[in-house]
A and B are shown apart, each in its own frame.
Chain A
Amino acid sequence: MTTIETVTLQSRGLSVWERFRRRKLALTGMVLITIALFGAIFAPWLTPYDPNTQMFDGLTIEGAPMAPSAQFLLGTDLLGRDLLTRILYGARTSLIIGLVANGVSLIIGTLVGVTAGYFQGFIGGLLMRLTDLMMAFPALLLAICLASIFQPSLWIVAMVIAIVNWVQTARVLYSETSSLAQREFIAAEKTLGASHPRILFRHILPHLVPMIIVWGTLGISTTVLLEATLSYLGVGVQPPTASWGNIIFENQTYFQAAPWLVFFPSLAIVMLALAFNLVGDAVREVLDPTLRGQD
Protein backbone atom coordinates (compact mmCIF):
# COMPACT_ATOMS: atom_id res chain seq x y z
CA MET A 1 0.00 0.00 0.00
CA THR A 2 1.53 3.32 -0.99
CA THR A 3 1.39 6.49 1.03
CA ILE A 4 -0.76 8.40 -1.42
CA GLU A 5 -3.33 5.64 -1.45
CA THR A 6 -3.51 5.64 2.34
CA VAL A 7 -3.97 9.38 2.56
CA THR A 8 -6.80 9.49 0.04
CA LEU A 9 -8.49 6.54 1.67
CA GLN A 10 -8.24 8.24 5.03
CA SER A 11 -9.65 11.47 3.75
CA ARG A 12 -12.65 9.57 2.46
CA GLY A 13 -13.24 8.75 6.07
CA LEU A 14 -12.52 5.06 6.38
CA SER A 15 -13.49 3.70 9.73
CA VAL A 16 -10.78 2.76 12.20
CA TRP A 17 -11.59 -0.91 11.70
CA GLU A 18 -11.29 -0.60 7.90
CA ARG A 19 -7.87 0.98 8.22
CA PHE A 20 -6.82 -1.65 10.73
CA ARG A 21 -8.05 -4.49 8.54
CA ARG A 22 -5.76 -3.46 5.71
CA ARG A 23 -2.68 -4.33 7.72
CA LYS A 24 -1.81 -7.95 7.08
CA LEU A 25 0.66 -8.15 9.94
CA ALA A 26 -1.88 -6.90 12.43
CA LEU A 27 -4.38 -9.45 11.20
CA THR A 28 -1.76 -12.17 11.61
CA GLY A 29 -1.31 -10.94 15.17
CA MET A 30 -5.06 -11.07 15.77
CA VAL A 31 -5.16 -14.67 14.49
CA LEU A 32 -2.30 -15.67 16.83
CA ILE A 33 -4.02 -14.02 19.80
CA THR A 34 -7.28 -15.77 18.95
CA ILE A 35 -5.49 -19.12 18.82
CA ALA A 36 -3.89 -18.46 22.22
CA LEU A 37 -7.23 -17.37 23.72
CA PHE A 38 -8.97 -20.42 22.27
CA GLY A 39 -6.26 -22.75 23.60
CA ALA A 40 -6.35 -21.15 27.04
CA ILE A 41 -10.14 -21.18 27.42
CA PHE A 42 -10.75 -24.66 26.02
CA ALA A 43 -7.60 -26.31 27.39
CA PRO A 44 -9.50 -28.98 29.40
CA TRP A 45 -11.41 -30.09 26.29
CA LEU A 46 -8.49 -29.87 23.89
CA THR A 47 -6.27 -32.32 25.71
CA PRO A 48 -7.02 -35.64 27.39
CA TYR A 49 -4.29 -35.09 30.00
CA ASP A 50 -4.11 -33.19 33.25
CA PRO A 51 -1.33 -30.54 33.37
CA ASN A 52 -0.04 -31.64 36.77
CA THR A 53 -0.36 -35.42 36.60
CA GLN A 54 2.97 -37.18 36.36
CA MET A 55 2.14 -40.03 34.04
CA PHE A 56 3.37 -43.54 34.53
CA ASP A 57 4.00 -43.98 30.81
CA GLY A 58 5.25 -40.38 30.47
CA LEU A 59 8.93 -41.18 30.96
CA THR A 60 11.29 -43.54 29.17
CA ILE A 61 12.63 -46.58 30.99
CA GLU A 62 15.75 -44.58 31.86
CA GLY A 63 13.50 -41.89 33.36
CA ALA A 64 14.14 -39.33 30.62
CA PRO A 65 11.47 -37.15 28.96
CA MET A 66 9.74 -38.68 25.91
CA ALA A 67 10.19 -37.21 22.45
CA PRO A 68 7.14 -35.91 20.52
CA SER A 69 4.98 -38.82 19.38
CA ALA A 70 1.39 -39.62 18.41
CA GLN A 71 0.52 -40.15 22.05
CA PHE A 72 2.26 -37.02 23.37
CA LEU A 73 2.21 -34.55 20.50
CA LEU A 74 4.98 -32.34 21.90
CA GLY A 75 6.55 -34.98 24.10
CA THR A 76 6.67 -35.06 27.90
CA ASP A 77 8.61 -32.97 30.41
CA LEU A 78 11.14 -34.09 32.99
CA LEU A 79 8.41 -35.26 35.39
CA GLY A 80 6.49 -37.19 32.75
CA ARG A 81 3.75 -34.60 32.19
CA ASP A 82 2.37 -33.89 28.73
CA LEU A 83 4.16 -30.79 27.38
CA LEU A 84 1.34 -29.66 25.08
CA THR A 85 -1.09 -29.74 28.00
CA ARG A 86 1.23 -27.66 30.14
CA ILE A 87 1.74 -25.16 27.32
CA LEU A 88 -2.04 -24.83 26.89
CA TYR A 89 -2.55 -24.26 30.61
CA GLY A 90 0.47 -21.95 30.59
CA ALA A 91 -1.38 -19.81 28.05
CA ARG A 92 -4.01 -19.22 30.76
CA THR A 93 -1.35 -17.92 33.13
CA SER A 94 0.20 -15.67 30.49
CA LEU A 95 -3.09 -14.22 29.30
CA ILE A 96 -4.55 -13.71 32.79
CA ILE A 97 -1.41 -11.93 33.94
CA GLY A 98 -1.06 -10.06 30.67
CA LEU A 99 -4.59 -8.71 30.89
CA VAL A 100 -4.89 -8.14 34.66
CA ALA A 101 -1.43 -6.67 35.21
CA ASN A 102 -1.71 -4.50 32.17
CA GLY A 103 -5.23 -3.38 33.11
CA VAL A 104 -4.11 -2.35 36.59
CA SER A 105 -0.98 -0.58 35.36
CA LEU A 106 -3.07 1.23 32.76
CA ILE A 107 -5.46 2.42 35.48
CA ILE A 108 -2.60 3.58 37.73
CA GLY A 109 -0.83 5.26 34.81
CA THR A 110 -4.00 7.01 33.66
CA LEU A 111 -4.89 8.22 37.17
CA VAL A 112 -1.39 9.54 37.83
CA GLY A 113 -0.87 11.05 34.39
CA VAL A 114 -4.27 12.71 34.11
CA THR A 115 -4.33 14.01 37.69
CA ALA A 116 -0.84 15.44 37.39
CA GLY A 117 -1.49 16.90 33.96
CA TYR A 118 -4.83 18.48 34.85
CA PHE A 119 -4.14 19.86 38.32
CA GLN A 120 -0.42 20.59 37.83
CA GLY A 121 0.79 22.57 40.88
CA PHE A 122 1.98 20.78 43.99
CA ILE A 123 0.11 17.49 43.48
CA GLY A 124 1.13 17.33 39.83
CA GLY A 125 4.75 18.08 40.63
CA LEU A 126 4.81 15.46 43.36
CA LEU A 127 3.26 12.79 41.15
CA MET A 128 5.63 13.49 38.29
CA ARG A 129 8.68 13.40 40.59
CA LEU A 130 7.43 10.02 41.76
CA THR A 131 7.27 8.97 38.12
CA ASP A 132 10.85 10.20 37.57
CA LEU A 133 11.86 8.19 40.61
CA MET A 134 10.27 5.04 39.20
CA MET A 135 12.15 5.63 35.94
CA ALA A 136 15.43 5.39 37.84
CA PHE A 137 14.68 1.80 38.88
CA PRO A 138 15.43 -0.99 36.46
CA ALA A 139 11.91 -2.45 36.04
CA LEU A 140 13.02 -6.07 36.04
CA LEU A 141 15.23 -5.72 39.11
CA LEU A 142 12.48 -3.91 41.02
CA ALA A 143 9.97 -6.59 40.02
CA ILE A 144 12.37 -9.29 41.19
CA CYS A 145 12.80 -7.51 44.53
CA LEU A 146 9.04 -7.09 44.98
CA ALA A 147 8.23 -10.63 43.88
CA SER A 148 10.78 -12.12 46.25
CA ILE A 149 9.51 -9.99 49.14
CA PHE A 150 5.89 -11.09 48.77
CA GLN A 151 5.31 -14.82 48.43
CA PRO A 152 4.58 -15.01 44.72
CA SER A 153 1.14 -16.18 43.60
CA LEU A 154 -0.63 -15.53 40.32
CA TRP A 155 -2.24 -12.32 41.60
CA ILE A 156 0.83 -11.07 43.45
CA VAL A 157 2.87 -11.49 40.27
CA ALA A 158 0.22 -9.57 38.34
CA MET A 159 0.30 -6.72 40.91
CA VAL A 160 4.11 -6.61 40.94
CA ILE A 161 4.16 -6.27 37.17
CA ALA A 162 1.49 -3.57 37.34
CA ILE A 163 3.51 -1.61 39.92
CA VAL A 164 6.63 -1.48 37.76
CA ASN A 165 4.86 -0.89 34.46
CA TRP A 166 2.61 2.16 34.82
CA VAL A 167 5.32 4.77 34.39
CA GLN A 168 5.36 4.99 30.61
CA THR A 169 1.57 5.42 30.38
CA ALA A 170 1.64 8.07 33.09
CA ARG A 171 4.29 10.11 31.29
CA VAL A 172 2.53 9.99 27.93
CA LEU A 173 -0.87 10.85 29.39
CA TYR A 174 0.64 13.59 31.53
CA SER A 175 2.00 15.51 28.56
CA GLU A 176 -1.18 14.89 26.57
CA THR A 177 -3.43 16.07 29.41
CA SER A 178 -1.39 19.14 30.25
CA SER A 179 -1.57 20.34 26.65
CA LEU A 180 -5.31 19.57 26.49
CA ALA A 181 -5.93 21.43 29.76
CA GLN A 182 -4.60 24.63 28.18
CA ARG A 183 -6.90 24.51 25.16
CA GLU A 184 -9.72 27.02 24.67
CA PHE A 185 -12.60 24.60 25.01
CA ILE A 186 -11.47 23.61 28.48
CA ALA A 187 -11.14 27.28 29.46
CA ALA A 188 -14.66 27.80 28.08
CA GLU A 189 -15.99 24.92 30.16
CA LYS A 190 -14.36 26.37 33.25
CA THR A 191 -15.91 29.77 32.56
CA LEU A 192 -19.30 28.11 32.25
CA GLY A 193 -18.79 26.79 35.74
CA ALA A 194 -18.28 23.09 34.97
CA SER A 195 -16.97 21.04 37.87
CA HIS A 196 -13.57 19.33 37.76
CA PRO A 197 -15.08 15.81 37.50
CA ARG A 198 -17.30 16.94 34.64
CA ILE A 199 -14.39 18.47 32.71
CA LEU A 200 -12.20 15.45 33.38
CA PHE A 201 -14.71 12.77 32.46
CA ARG A 202 -16.76 14.49 29.76
CA HIS A 203 -14.09 16.54 28.01
CA ILE A 204 -10.57 15.38 28.75
CA LEU A 205 -10.90 11.61 29.05
CA PRO A 206 -12.67 11.11 25.68
CA HIS A 207 -9.69 12.79 23.98
CA LEU A 208 -7.31 10.42 25.71
CA VAL A 209 -9.13 7.20 24.83
CA PRO A 210 -7.12 6.48 21.64
CA MET A 211 -3.86 7.02 23.54
CA ILE A 212 -5.02 4.74 26.36
CA ILE A 213 -6.01 2.00 23.91
CA VAL A 214 -2.65 2.26 22.15
CA TRP A 215 -0.60 1.99 25.34
CA GLY A 216 -2.92 -0.68 26.67
CA THR A 217 -2.37 -2.92 23.65
CA LEU A 218 1.40 -2.39 23.46
CA GLY A 219 1.68 -2.95 27.22
CA ILE A 220 0.25 -6.47 27.09
CA SER A 221 3.33 -7.77 25.31
CA THR A 222 5.59 -6.14 27.93
CA THR A 223 3.64 -7.76 30.77
CA VAL A 224 3.60 -11.18 29.08
CA LEU A 225 7.39 -11.00 28.66
CA LEU A 226 7.95 -9.79 32.21
CA GLU A 227 5.81 -12.60 33.63
CA ALA A 228 7.73 -15.18 31.61
CA THR A 229 11.05 -13.76 32.79
CA LEU A 230 10.01 -13.63 36.47
CA SER A 231 8.68 -17.20 36.31
CA TYR A 232 11.85 -18.33 34.58
CA LEU A 233 13.91 -16.79 37.39
CA GLY A 234 11.73 -18.59 39.94
CA VAL A 235 10.16 -15.48 41.49
CA GLY A 236 7.04 -15.52 39.32
CA VAL A 237 4.29 -18.09 39.07
CA GLN A 238 5.28 -21.07 41.17
CA PRO A 239 5.24 -24.70 40.02
CA PRO A 240 3.21 -26.86 39.71
CA THR A 241 1.03 -24.10 38.18
CA ALA A 242 2.13 -24.08 34.57
CA SER A 243 3.61 -20.88 33.16
CA TRP A 244 5.68 -20.71 30.00
CA GLY A 245 8.56 -19.20 31.96
CA ASN A 246 8.67 -21.91 34.64
CA ILE A 247 8.21 -24.71 32.07
CA ILE A 248 11.46 -23.55 30.48
CA PHE A 249 13.17 -23.16 33.83
CA GLU A 250 12.18 -26.67 34.97
CA ASN A 251 13.23 -28.33 31.75
CA GLN A 252 16.42 -26.51 30.93
CA THR A 253 18.52 -29.20 32.60
CA TYR A 254 17.38 -31.48 29.76
CA PHE A 255 18.09 -28.75 27.24
CA GLN A 256 20.87 -30.56 25.38
CA ALA A 257 19.21 -33.96 25.30
CA ALA A 258 15.64 -32.78 24.70
CA PRO A 259 15.78 -29.30 23.14
CA TRP A 260 12.06 -29.35 22.24
CA LEU A 261 11.23 -28.99 25.93
CA VAL A 262 12.69 -25.49 25.78
CA PHE A 263 11.92 -24.81 22.16
CA PHE A 264 8.11 -25.19 22.18
CA PRO A 265 7.34 -23.02 25.22
CA SER A 266 9.83 -20.42 23.90
CA LEU A 267 8.01 -20.38 20.61
CA ALA A 268 4.73 -19.86 22.46
CA ILE A 269 6.09 -16.86 24.41
CA VAL A 270 7.65 -15.20 21.37
CA MET A 271 4.53 -15.73 19.23
CA LEU A 272 2.15 -14.30 21.82
CA ALA A 273 4.35 -11.28 22.57
CA LEU A 274 4.92 -10.75 18.85
CA ALA A 275 1.17 -10.91 18.20
CA PHE A 276 0.41 -8.23 20.78
CA ASN A 277 3.27 -6.08 19.47
CA LEU A 278 2.02 -6.32 15.88
CA VAL A 279 -1.55 -5.50 16.86
CA GLY A 280 -0.40 -2.74 19.21
CA ASP A 281 1.74 -1.15 16.51
CA ALA A 282 -1.11 -1.20 14.00
CA VAL A 283 -3.52 0.23 16.58
CA ARG A 284 -1.00 3.00 17.22
CA GLU A 285 -0.68 3.85 13.55
CA VAL A 286 -4.44 3.85 13.13
CA LEU A 287 -5.39 5.73 16.29
CA ASP A 288 -2.49 7.97 17.24
CA PRO A 289 -3.40 11.39 15.83
CA THR A 290 0.22 12.51 15.75
CA LEU A 291 1.10 9.70 13.35
CA ARG A 292 -1.76 10.26 10.93
CA GLY A 293 -0.66 10.75 7.34
CA GLN A 294 2.67 9.06 7.96
CA ASP A 295 3.25 5.44 7.26
Chain B
Amino acid sequence: MVDFLTRRLMQSALILLGVSLITFALLYLLPADPVRQIAGRSATPQTVANIREQLGLDQPFIVQYWRYLLNLLQADLGRSYLQKTEVTSLISARIPASLLLMAGAIFCELVIGLTMGILAALRRGSTMDNSLMIASFVGVSAPQFVVGLLLLYVFAVQLNWFPIGGYGTLAHLVLPSMTLAILGSGWYSRMMRSSMIEVLRQDFIRTAHAKGLSKMRVLLRHALPNAILPIIAMIGIDVGIFMGGIVVVESVFGWPGIGQLAWQAIQRVDIPIIMGVTLVSACAIVIGNLVADIASLFADPRIKIR
Protein backbone atom coordinates (compact mmCIF):
# COMPACT_ATOMS: atom_id res chain seq x y z
CA MET B 1 0.00 0.00 0.00
CA VAL B 2 2.72 2.46 1.04
CA ASP B 3 4.72 1.34 -2.00
CA PHE B 4 1.80 1.94 -4.28
CA LEU B 5 1.19 5.38 -2.81
CA THR B 6 4.82 6.48 -3.09
CA ARG B 7 4.99 5.32 -6.70
CA ARG B 8 1.78 7.09 -7.62
CA LEU B 9 2.93 10.25 -5.84
CA MET B 10 6.25 10.18 -7.70
CA GLN B 11 4.41 9.77 -11.00
CA SER B 12 2.13 12.67 -10.16
CA ALA B 13 5.08 14.90 -9.27
CA LEU B 14 6.78 14.05 -12.60
CA ILE B 15 3.63 14.85 -14.52
CA LEU B 16 3.33 18.19 -12.74
CA LEU B 17 6.96 18.96 -13.62
CA GLY B 18 6.16 18.25 -17.27
CA VAL B 19 3.05 20.40 -17.05
CA SER B 20 5.03 23.35 -15.69
CA LEU B 21 7.59 22.96 -18.49
CA ILE B 22 4.92 22.92 -21.19
CA THR B 23 2.95 25.88 -19.88
CA PHE B 24 6.15 27.84 -19.45
CA ALA B 25 7.36 26.99 -22.96
CA LEU B 26 3.99 27.96 -24.45
CA LEU B 27 3.90 31.31 -22.80
CA TYR B 28 7.59 31.94 -23.50
CA LEU B 29 6.76 31.70 -27.20
CA LEU B 30 3.88 34.11 -26.82
CA PRO B 31 3.90 36.67 -29.63
CA ALA B 32 1.89 39.19 -27.61
CA ASP B 33 4.60 41.03 -25.66
CA PRO B 34 3.66 41.59 -22.01
CA VAL B 35 6.30 44.30 -21.64
CA ARG B 36 4.58 46.43 -24.28
CA GLN B 37 1.32 46.00 -22.40
CA ILE B 38 2.78 47.25 -19.15
CA ALA B 39 4.82 50.04 -20.67
CA GLY B 40 2.03 51.35 -22.85
CA ARG B 41 2.16 52.46 -26.47
CA SER B 42 4.17 55.64 -26.01
CA ALA B 43 7.05 54.11 -24.00
CA THR B 44 10.60 54.75 -25.18
CA PRO B 45 12.78 51.77 -26.14
CA GLN B 46 14.83 52.49 -23.01
CA THR B 47 11.79 52.11 -20.72
CA VAL B 48 10.80 48.91 -22.51
CA ALA B 49 14.29 47.50 -22.03
CA ASN B 50 14.26 48.48 -18.36
CA ILE B 51 10.96 46.77 -17.69
CA ARG B 52 12.12 43.70 -19.57
CA GLU B 53 15.22 43.53 -17.39
CA GLN B 54 13.23 44.18 -14.24
CA LEU B 55 10.93 41.23 -14.97
CA GLY B 56 13.87 39.02 -15.92
CA LEU B 57 12.41 38.52 -19.39
CA ASP B 58 15.77 39.18 -21.08
CA GLN B 59 17.29 36.00 -19.61
CA PRO B 60 17.58 32.78 -21.65
CA PHE B 61 14.74 30.24 -21.54
CA ILE B 62 16.41 27.77 -19.18
CA VAL B 63 17.32 30.47 -16.66
CA GLN B 64 13.78 31.87 -16.66
CA TYR B 65 12.29 28.41 -16.29
CA TRP B 66 14.64 27.43 -13.48
CA ARG B 67 13.85 30.62 -11.58
CA TYR B 68 10.15 29.99 -12.10
CA LEU B 69 10.43 26.39 -10.87
CA LEU B 70 12.32 27.41 -7.72
CA ASN B 71 9.58 29.92 -6.96
CA LEU B 72 6.91 27.32 -7.60
CA LEU B 73 8.36 25.07 -4.93
CA GLN B 74 7.76 27.88 -2.46
CA ALA B 75 4.17 28.22 -3.70
CA ASP B 76 5.17 31.46 -5.38
CA LEU B 77 3.46 31.80 -8.75
CA GLY B 78 4.95 35.22 -9.42
CA ARG B 79 3.27 38.58 -9.64
CA SER B 80 0.51 39.54 -12.00
CA TYR B 81 1.92 41.90 -14.65
CA LEU B 82 -1.08 44.18 -14.61
CA GLN B 83 -2.68 43.83 -11.19
CA LYS B 84 0.68 44.05 -9.37
CA THR B 85 -0.48 41.42 -6.89
CA GLU B 86 0.85 37.99 -5.95
CA VAL B 87 -0.74 35.41 -8.26
CA THR B 88 -0.83 32.90 -5.41
CA SER B 89 -3.03 35.19 -3.34
CA LEU B 90 -5.23 36.08 -6.34
CA ILE B 91 -5.83 32.40 -7.05
CA SER B 92 -6.18 31.22 -3.46
CA ALA B 93 -8.75 33.93 -2.78
CA ARG B 94 -10.88 32.49 -5.58
CA ILE B 95 -10.40 28.77 -4.98
CA PRO B 96 -13.19 28.42 -2.36
CA ALA B 97 -15.81 29.76 -4.81
CA SER B 98 -14.68 27.33 -7.52
CA LEU B 99 -14.58 24.40 -5.10
CA LEU B 100 -18.09 25.22 -3.94
CA LEU B 101 -19.28 25.30 -7.55
CA MET B 102 -17.62 21.97 -8.31
CA ALA B 103 -19.03 20.34 -5.19
CA GLY B 104 -22.48 21.51 -6.24
CA ALA B 105 -21.90 20.19 -9.74
CA ILE B 106 -20.67 16.77 -8.57
CA PHE B 107 -23.70 16.47 -6.30
CA CYS B 108 -26.17 17.37 -9.09
CA GLU B 109 -24.42 15.17 -11.59
CA LEU B 110 -24.40 12.11 -9.34
CA VAL B 111 -28.03 12.55 -8.32
CA ILE B 112 -29.28 13.13 -11.89
CA GLY B 113 -26.92 10.74 -13.66
CA LEU B 114 -27.25 7.80 -11.27
CA THR B 115 -31.03 8.11 -11.02
CA MET B 116 -31.39 8.22 -14.80
CA GLY B 117 -29.01 5.30 -15.25
CA ILE B 118 -30.70 3.10 -12.66
CA LEU B 119 -34.21 3.83 -13.96
CA ALA B 120 -33.10 3.09 -17.52
CA ALA B 121 -31.41 -0.17 -16.48
CA LEU B 122 -34.45 -1.37 -14.52
CA ARG B 123 -36.86 -0.69 -17.40
CA ARG B 124 -34.46 -1.75 -20.08
CA GLY B 125 -35.84 -1.55 -23.63
CA SER B 126 -38.91 0.42 -22.52
CA THR B 127 -39.96 3.81 -23.82
CA MET B 128 -38.62 5.33 -20.62
CA ASP B 129 -35.21 3.73 -21.17
CA ASN B 130 -35.10 5.04 -24.72
CA SER B 131 -36.17 8.56 -23.80
CA LEU B 132 -33.72 8.71 -20.89
CA MET B 133 -30.88 7.65 -23.16
CA ILE B 134 -31.85 10.20 -25.79
CA ALA B 135 -31.93 12.81 -23.01
CA SER B 136 -28.42 11.80 -21.96
CA PHE B 137 -27.27 12.17 -25.56
CA VAL B 138 -28.72 15.67 -25.72
CA GLY B 139 -26.94 16.41 -22.43
CA VAL B 140 -23.53 15.47 -23.82
CA SER B 141 -24.23 17.29 -27.09
CA ALA B 142 -25.01 20.68 -25.58
CA PRO B 143 -22.10 23.07 -25.01
CA GLN B 144 -22.01 24.51 -21.50
CA PHE B 145 -22.61 28.09 -22.55
CA VAL B 146 -25.79 27.03 -24.35
CA VAL B 147 -27.04 25.13 -21.29
CA GLY B 148 -26.11 28.08 -19.08
CA LEU B 149 -27.90 30.67 -21.22
CA LEU B 150 -30.96 28.44 -21.56
CA LEU B 151 -31.20 27.82 -17.80
CA LEU B 152 -30.70 31.54 -17.21
CA TYR B 153 -33.48 32.41 -19.61
CA VAL B 154 -36.00 29.92 -18.29
CA PHE B 155 -35.33 29.92 -14.55
CA ALA B 156 -33.94 33.38 -13.92
CA VAL B 157 -35.48 35.65 -16.55
CA GLN B 158 -38.87 34.04 -17.19
CA LEU B 159 -39.70 32.21 -13.94
CA ASN B 160 -37.62 34.41 -11.68
CA TRP B 161 -36.82 31.46 -9.40
CA PHE B 162 -33.10 32.09 -9.17
CA PRO B 163 -30.88 35.17 -9.42
CA ILE B 164 -29.38 35.99 -12.87
CA GLY B 165 -25.82 35.81 -11.63
CA GLY B 166 -23.54 36.53 -8.72
CA TYR B 167 -22.43 34.76 -5.63
CA GLY B 168 -23.42 34.43 -2.02
CA THR B 169 -26.51 32.38 -1.27
CA LEU B 170 -27.55 28.82 -2.05
CA ALA B 171 -29.92 30.16 -4.72
CA HIS B 172 -26.93 31.59 -6.60
CA LEU B 173 -25.30 28.17 -6.64
CA VAL B 174 -28.15 26.23 -8.26
CA LEU B 175 -27.99 27.34 -11.90
CA PRO B 176 -24.19 27.35 -12.32
CA SER B 177 -23.80 23.91 -10.77
CA MET B 178 -26.65 22.51 -12.86
CA THR B 179 -24.98 23.92 -15.97
CA LEU B 180 -21.69 22.32 -15.06
CA ALA B 181 -23.46 19.07 -14.17
CA ILE B 182 -25.53 18.47 -17.32
CA LEU B 183 -22.60 17.18 -19.39
CA GLY B 184 -21.39 14.81 -16.68
CA SER B 185 -24.92 13.56 -15.94
CA GLY B 186 -25.14 12.41 -19.54
CA TRP B 187 -21.98 10.33 -19.25
CA TYR B 188 -22.82 9.04 -15.76
CA SER B 189 -26.30 7.92 -16.76
CA ARG B 190 -24.95 5.94 -19.70
CA MET B 191 -22.20 4.34 -17.62
CA MET B 192 -24.54 3.63 -14.74
CA ARG B 193 -27.05 2.01 -17.08
CA SER B 194 -24.58 -0.41 -18.65
CA SER B 195 -22.88 -1.13 -15.34
CA MET B 196 -26.25 -1.77 -13.65
CA ILE B 197 -27.43 -4.05 -16.46
CA GLU B 198 -24.20 -6.02 -16.11
CA VAL B 199 -24.65 -6.39 -12.34
CA LEU B 200 -28.34 -7.29 -12.53
CA ARG B 201 -27.40 -10.25 -14.74
CA GLN B 202 -25.16 -11.77 -12.04
CA ASP B 203 -26.05 -14.87 -10.08
CA PHE B 204 -25.90 -13.21 -6.66
CA ILE B 205 -28.73 -10.88 -7.66
CA ARG B 206 -30.90 -13.86 -8.57
CA THR B 207 -29.97 -15.46 -5.24
CA ALA B 208 -30.93 -12.31 -3.38
CA HIS B 209 -34.29 -12.26 -5.13
CA ALA B 210 -34.74 -15.97 -4.41
CA LYS B 211 -34.09 -15.39 -0.72
CA GLY B 212 -37.23 -13.27 -0.81
CA LEU B 213 -35.61 -9.88 -0.26
CA SER B 214 -37.63 -6.90 -1.35
CA LYS B 215 -36.84 -5.46 -4.76
CA MET B 216 -35.76 -2.19 -3.21
CA ARG B 217 -33.36 -3.94 -0.84
CA VAL B 218 -31.80 -5.99 -3.62
CA LEU B 219 -31.34 -2.85 -5.68
CA LEU B 220 -29.91 -0.62 -2.97
CA ARG B 221 -27.88 -3.11 -0.90
CA HIS B 222 -26.76 -5.67 -3.47
CA ALA B 223 -26.79 -4.17 -6.95
CA LEU B 224 -25.96 -0.51 -6.38
CA PRO B 225 -22.65 -0.88 -4.47
CA ASN B 226 -21.33 -3.13 -7.25
CA ALA B 227 -22.68 -1.08 -10.12
CA ILE B 228 -21.26 2.15 -8.73
CA LEU B 229 -17.61 1.01 -8.79
CA PRO B 230 -16.78 2.11 -12.35
CA ILE B 231 -18.38 5.47 -11.59
CA ILE B 232 -15.83 6.22 -8.85
CA ALA B 233 -12.98 6.16 -11.34
CA MET B 234 -14.94 8.57 -13.53
CA ILE B 235 -15.05 11.28 -10.86
CA GLY B 236 -11.29 11.73 -11.27
CA ILE B 237 -11.67 12.33 -15.00
CA ASP B 238 -14.54 14.65 -14.25
CA VAL B 239 -12.26 17.08 -12.45
CA GLY B 240 -10.49 17.66 -15.76
CA ILE B 241 -13.73 18.47 -17.54
CA PHE B 242 -14.76 20.74 -14.68
CA MET B 243 -11.52 22.71 -14.80
CA GLY B 244 -12.26 23.68 -18.40
CA GLY B 245 -15.98 24.05 -17.78
CA ILE B 246 -15.62 26.56 -14.97
CA VAL B 247 -14.03 29.05 -17.36
CA VAL B 248 -17.25 29.05 -19.41
CA VAL B 249 -19.75 28.68 -16.58
CA GLU B 250 -18.13 31.26 -14.31
CA SER B 251 -18.02 33.80 -17.11
CA VAL B 252 -21.68 33.19 -18.04
CA PHE B 253 -22.89 33.51 -14.45
CA GLY B 254 -20.33 35.98 -13.11
CA TRP B 255 -19.18 33.47 -10.51
CA PRO B 256 -16.04 34.80 -8.79
CA GLY B 257 -13.86 31.69 -9.07
CA ILE B 258 -10.56 30.85 -10.75
CA GLY B 259 -12.31 30.24 -14.09
CA GLN B 260 -13.39 33.86 -14.23
CA LEU B 261 -9.90 34.94 -13.12
CA ALA B 262 -8.36 32.92 -15.96
CA TRP B 263 -10.82 34.36 -18.42
CA GLN B 264 -10.02 37.94 -17.45
CA ALA B 265 -6.29 37.19 -17.53
CA ILE B 266 -6.47 35.66 -21.00
CA GLN B 267 -8.07 38.80 -22.39
CA ARG B 268 -5.34 40.98 -20.89
CA VAL B 269 -2.52 38.52 -21.69
CA ASP B 270 -1.55 38.43 -18.02
CA ILE B 271 0.90 35.53 -18.33
CA PRO B 272 1.59 34.69 -14.66
CA ILE B 273 -2.14 34.36 -13.92
CA ILE B 274 -2.84 32.16 -16.96
CA MET B 275 0.12 29.98 -16.07
CA GLY B 276 -0.93 29.86 -12.42
CA VAL B 277 -4.49 28.82 -13.17
CA THR B 278 -3.36 26.18 -15.67
CA LEU B 279 -0.93 24.76 -13.12
CA VAL B 280 -3.53 24.77 -10.35
CA SER B 281 -5.97 23.00 -12.72
CA ALA B 282 -3.36 20.41 -13.63
CA CYS B 283 -2.69 19.85 -9.91
CA ALA B 284 -6.41 19.42 -9.34
CA ILE B 285 -6.62 16.89 -12.15
CA VAL B 286 -3.62 14.91 -10.94
CA ILE B 287 -4.94 14.93 -7.37
CA GLY B 288 -8.43 14.03 -8.60
CA ASN B 289 -7.11 10.99 -10.43
CA LEU B 290 -4.98 9.97 -7.45
CA VAL B 291 -7.95 10.21 -5.09
CA ALA B 292 -10.16 8.29 -7.51
CA ASP B 293 -7.53 5.52 -7.75
CA ILE B 294 -7.23 5.25 -3.98
CA ALA B 295 -10.99 5.42 -3.51
CA SER B 296 -11.65 2.58 -5.93
CA LEU B 297 -8.92 0.60 -4.17
CA PHE B 298 -10.85 0.89 -0.93
CA ALA B 299 -14.25 0.49 -2.51
CA ASP B 300 -13.43 -2.67 -4.39
CA PRO B 301 -11.36 -5.24 -2.47
CA ARG B 302 -10.95 -7.24 -5.69
CA ILE B 303 -8.61 -4.67 -7.21
CA LYS B 304 -5.03 -5.84 -6.69
CA ILE B 305 -2.25 -3.32 -6.23
CA ARG B 306 0.10 -3.64 -9.14
Contacts and interface: CB of A to CB of B under 8 A. Distances in A.
26 contacts: A2-B125, A135-B240, A136-B16, A137-B278, A137-B282, A138-B282, A140-B243, A140-B245, A141-B262, A141-B278, A144-B262, A145-B27, A149-B30, A151-B31, A225-B141, A228-B143, A228-B146, A232-B145, A232-B248, A233-B145, A233-B248, A245-B143, A255-B149, A255-B157, A266-B142, A281-B137
Contacts of B285: 135-138
A278 interface: yes
Nearest to A228: B143
Interface string A226-259: 0011001111000000000100100010011001
A243 to B, nearest CB: 12
Contact of B146 (A135, A221, A235, A266): A266
Contact of A229 (B144, B267, B274): B144
B74 to A, nearest CB: 22
A274 interface: yes
Given A139-B240, A149-B27, A274-B138, A133 B18 contact: yes
Contact of B143 (A138, A144, A229, A235): A229
A235 B19 contact: no
B262 A132 contact: no
B244 A138 contact: yes
Contact of A136 (B140, B241, B269, B286): B286
B235 interface: no
A163 to B, nearest CB: 11
Interface in B122-166: 125, 134, 137-138, 140-146, 149-150, 152-153, 157
A64 interface: no
A225 B134 CA distance: 18
Interface residues of A, number: 43
Contacts, number: 125
Contact of A273 (B22, B141, B286): B141
A252 B145 CA distance: 11
A108 interface: no
B159 to A, nearest CB: 13
Contact of B22 (A133, A221, A252): A133
Contact of A138 (B26, B138, B142, B241): B241
Contacts of A273: 141-143
Contacts of B145: 228-229, 232-233, 245, 248
B292 interface: no
Contact of B138 (A235, A259, A270): A270
A241 B143 CA distance: 20
A137 B138 CA distance: 26
Nearest to B22: A133
A259 B150 CA distance: 9
Nearest to B149: A262
A25 interface: yes
Given A25-B134, A233-B263, 18 more contacts: A133-B18, A135-B285, A138-B278, A138-B281, A144-B247, A145-B23, A145-B27, A145-B278, A149-B32, A225-B141, A228-B145, A245-B145, A256-B157, A262-B149, A266-B150, A269-B143, A274-B138, A278-B137
A228 B263 CA distance: 16
A141 B146 contact: no
A233 B16 contact: no
